[in-house]
Copies of this chain bind each other. A is one copy, B any other.
Amino acid sequence: MSLLVVGSVAIDSVKTPFGVRERSLGGAAMHFSVSASYFSEVAVVGVVGEDYTDDDMSVFRERNINTENIQRIAGGKTFFWAGEYGFDLNTAKTLDTQLNVFGDFKPQLSDSAKKSPYLFLANIQPSLQREVREQVDCKFVAMDTMNYWIESAREELLKTLAVVDCVIINDAEARELAGESNLIKAAKKILTFGPKMLIVKRGEYGAALFTKDSYFATVAFPLESVFDPTGAGDSFAGGFMGYIAKHDNLDEGTIRRAIIHGSVMASFNVEEFSCDRLRRLTRPEIADRVDEFRKFTHF
């Protein structure tokens, strides 16, 4: 079944302790869609400027990602983000953000996009997320958000949380959104805001799933070298949503396996700059890592 994602398509400038890339493909919708494309059909709703070249667009073409809902603004510049990671690689220091065409982004959805059964609202303004959500007649919708919206647009965010099935955020965001330092308590509180499901991303420590009646947690795939964490969360969400769309099933077992697939996609994503590693991934490589996951967590 097909999957729609709305979010940023960006040009990044990334510095890590291992290297610098001045102009790399970025944006939540890009990372998400490349990851999800290994599992299901994906379409992106987004916007780019005139500087986003045909060569840049090839990342979508290569992975058969539908781009008919990506607007190209004549004379505009693509959303630009520059960031730097220290040795712990856990948090990026933002050096520059230029919203450019993303500042006036008005998502436009084709008729077929409006019929997507699976929808992911990547991290954008909560009111825009809701606007897209209301246009799509889907069976399962998940969303991301960030500390900026939790702090500056809480009321809007709560309205959006009320109309989604699943929230996928990191642990600091979960604690901040709930105003509660204990993660289990925070999760319970967030579930009272509307969503039936909360997935908490914990970086190198793994991920946890909370619903009203169940709990699941996993460690992360162990990596000896993390090169560039940019887009890890979006690759996770892409693998998760892509797996669910592929199986067109929302039972607990599918959701759990979707989290493992999301974790595997994130583990590949961080091994190289941008989506370099994901672009040349193979399905057997994904399957191998899922197998390994089972082996090193079974007791």
CA distance A181 to B85 in the complex (A): 14
Q: Is the CB of A222 within 8 A of B215?
A: yes
A153 interface residue per 8 A CB criterion: no
A112 interface residue per 8 A CB criterion: no
Q: Is the CB of B224 within 8 A of A256?
A: no
Q: Is the CB of A299 within 8 A of B225?
A: no
Min C-beta distance of A206 to chain B, whole Å: 6
CA distance A219 to B183 in the complex (A): 14
CA distance A88 to B183 in the complex (A): 11
Which of A202, A217, A226, A257 gathers the greatest number of chain B CB atoms within 10 Å? A217
Min C-beta distance of A72 to chain B, whole Å: 41
Q: Is the CB of A224 within 8 A of B299?
A: no
Min C-beta distance of A172 to chain B, whole Å: 12
A260 cross-chain contacts in B, Cβ below 8 A: 299
Q: Mark A216-231, 1 if CB is under 8 A from B, else 0.
A: 1111001111100000
A148 interface residue per 8 A CB criterion: no
Q: How many residues of A contact B (CB 8 A)?
A: 33
CA distance A296 to B204 in the complex (A): 19
Q: Is the CB of B88 within 8 A of A181?
A: yes
Which of A208, A222, A224, A299 gathers the greatest number of chain B CB atoms within 10 Å? A299
Min C-beta distance of A164 to chain B, whole Å: 23
A183 cross-chain contacts in B, Cβ below 8 A: 204, 222
Min C-beta distance of A29 to chain B, whole Å: 27
Min C-beta distance of A247 to chain B, whole Å: 14
Interface of A is mostly: mixed
CA distance A214 to B208 in the complex (A): 24
The residues in A between 69 and 97 inclusive whose CB is less than 8 angstroms from any CB of B are 87-88
CA distance A216 to B218 in the complex (A): 12
A182 interface residue per 8 A CB criterion: yes
A184 interface residue per 8 A CB criterion: yes
A265 interface residue per 8 A CB criterion: no
Q: Is the CB of A299 within 8 A of B257?
A: yes
A219 cross-chain contacts in B, Cβ below 8 A: 205-206, 208, 217-219
Q: Is the CB of B256 within 8 A of A299?
A: yes
The residues in A between 165 and 224 inclusive whose CB is less than 8 angstroms from any CB of B are 181-185, 202, 204-206, 208, 214-219, 222-224
Offer 6 A-B interface pairs, CB within 8 angstroms, sorted by A. Answer: A88-B181, A182-B225, A182-B226, A183-B222, A184-B224, A218-B219
Mark A residues whose CB is within 8 Å of B. 87-88, 181-185, 202, 204-206, 208, 214-219, 222-226, 253, 256-257, 259-260, 294, 296-299
Known: A184-B224, A215-B296. 11 other contacts (CB 8 A): A202-B205, A205-B206, A206-B206, A214-B296, A216-B296, A217-B219, A217-B296, A256-B298, A256-B299, A257-B299, A259-B299
Sort A-B residue pairs by CB-CB distance and give the 7 closest, nearest first. A256-B299, A205-B205, A217-B219, A184-B224, A215-B296, A184-B222, A216-B296
